[in-house]
Amino acid sequence: MPLKTIIRRRLLSLLRPWLREEPNLDLQLGFVRSLAVLTNLRFDVSVLNNLVDAPAFLFFKDLTIERLTLRFSTWFPPAFTIELHGLHILQSFE
């Protein structure tokens, strides 16, 4: 399906600057409900450290998500549902 391929490429291109490597993306598009499942998200912590307006001594060392599930419904509430599984955050003081 060309529309699915276009949306998949667009989502991955939006995520690429934030990640160390390309994640696995399973995309299921529907007229009423759509689903996107991203696995093995490994964030680039140098980008996150530059983004976060936190005290200068608090830094991200690692941020990974084993599985991120996004459900989108055009007709029924809630419109968005986000599920995180295997969230690992490692911060340190320097």
Contact 4, 27 (CB under 8 A): yes
Question: Domain ranges in the chain?
Answer: 2-93
| Residue in the structure block whose two tokens are 């029924």 | 76
Q: What is the pTM of this model?
A: 0.81
- In whole angstroms, give the CA distance from residue 84 to residue 46: 22
pLDDT tens digits for range 40-93: 999 999 898 888 766 667 888 999 999 999 999 988 888 899 999 999 999 988
